[in-house]
Chains A and B, each alone.
Chain A
Amino acid sequence: ETGVTQTPRHLVMGMTNKKSLKCEQHLGHNAMYWYKQSAKKPLELMFVYNFKEQTENNSVPSRFSPECPNSSHLFLHLHTLQPEDSALYLCASSQEDSGDGTQYFGPGTRLLVL
Chain B
Amino acid sequence: SQKIEQNSEALNIQEGKTATLTCNYTNYSPAYLQWYRQDPGRGPVFLLLIRENEKEKRKERLKVTFDTTLKQSLFHITASQPADSATYLCALVKTGNQFYFGTGTSLTVIP
Contacts and interface: CB of A to CB of B under 8 A. Distances in A.
B49 A103 contact: no
A21 interface: no
B43 A42 contact: no
Contact of A41 (B42, B97, B103): B103
Contacts of B36: 103
A100 B32 contact: yes
A106 B43 contact: yes
A4 B44 CA distance: 12
Contact of A94 (B4, B42, B97): B97
A45 interface: yes
The main secondary structure of chain A at its interface with chain B is loop
Nearest to B103: A42
A108 B46 contact: no
Contacts, number: 49
Interface residues of B, number: 22
Q: How large is the interface on A (under 10, 10 to 19, 20 to 34, 35 or more residues)?
A: 20 to 34
Given A41-B103, A42-B4, A100-B32, 11 more contacts: A4-B43, A40-B9, A42-B102, A102-B49, A103-B99, A104-B46, A107-B41, A107-B42, A108-B41, A108-B42, A108-B43
Interface of A: 4, 31, 40-43, 45, 90, 92, 94, 96, 100-108, 110
Interface of B: 4, 9, 32, 34, 36, 41-46, 49, 89, 91, 93, 97, 99-104
